[in-house]
């Protein structure tokens, strides 16, 4: 997850020429778009850091584990749904490196979603069985 946060600026700048497109927006809309970009980058990094530092806590079947894994599962599942629902209608540069990157990033997103759905279900079942 932290990897996606690190490569996010490269993808925006090099692959999508994002900042030049944003310059076409009104100033307030430019700042809103940049802010949401930073939120995405920050969440990806934070979820990665939480996953590394609190591995045991994320699977201990407490209410907090249910809530946090559910949140992260919803986030990545929403990302995957958006990725496959809306992004295919846009052109990605045809260079091999970008096609390989697209496959690898989609694989990461699907993996994050699947792992956290699995953790959420395990945590939820364990939490409910203790009640």
> Residue 15 and residue 85: Cα distance in Å, rounded?
20
Q: How confident is the model at residue 3 (pLDDT cuts 50, 70, 90)?
A: confident
Cα-Cα-Cα-Cα dihedral sign, residues 71, 113, 116, 34 = negative
Selection from 19-33, 76-90, 111-125 with the highest mean pLDDT: 111-125
């Amino acid at each position: 997850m932290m990897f996606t946060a690190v490569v996010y600026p490269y993808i925006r700048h090099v692959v999508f020429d994002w900042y030049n497109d944003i310059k076409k927006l009104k100033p307030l809309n430019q700042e809103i778009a940049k802010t949401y970009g930073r939120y995405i980058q920050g969440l990806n990094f934070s979820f990665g850091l939480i996953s590394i530092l609190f591995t045991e806590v994320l699977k201990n079947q407490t209410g907090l584990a249910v809530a946090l894994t559910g949140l992260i599962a919803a986030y990545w599942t929403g990302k995957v749904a958006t990725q496959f629902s809306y992004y295919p209608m846009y052109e990605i540069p045809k260079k091999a490196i970008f096609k390989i990157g697209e496959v690898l990033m989609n694989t990461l997103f699907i993996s994050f979603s699947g792992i956290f759905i699995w953790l959420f279900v395990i945590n939820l079942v364990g939490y409910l069985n203790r009640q």
